[in-house]
Structure 1
Amino acid sequence: MADSTDSPDWLPLAGLFAAIIAIAGLGNYVFAQLGLGRVGSLIWVLGYGGVVVTAWALWFRGQTFDPQ
């Protein structure tokens, strides 16, 4: 049986981000089916946008991409 230390540190956070995006997509679908397309779009934008902003703040903000 594999140890839990074999997985990368970022894996749980990436899984959480994927789950949030999936939930936002399902929310968008449900509200669109109820005739509330704008509410569904708002849920999608807030969910997906929140993941993008959080990922930038946690992972990419301190990165430098200087050509060598």
Structure 2
Amino acid sequence: MSITFLDNLQHYSSFVVKARFSDLHNHLIIRRSSAIANSSAFLDFFINSVGFRMNYILNGLRPNITLPSIRGE
């Protein structure tokens, strides 16, 4: 997220002299909050849907959930 933001900041830096500061400031604020919202939504989805459940299953913290045995027992 921060790498993309910095790359965009460098890309737009040639227009800083022509643009008014307030317009540039609002543009960067919108881009930054959008990137933060997208990444946090993805992390919430990943942790709640995949990571959290797989950690509990694989670590045996939920004994009521049984995985199929590899040996077919």
TM-score range with shorter-chain normalisation?
0.3 to 0.5
TM-score, normalised to structure 2, is 0.44
Larger-Rg structure? 2
TM-score, normalised to structure 1, is 0.47
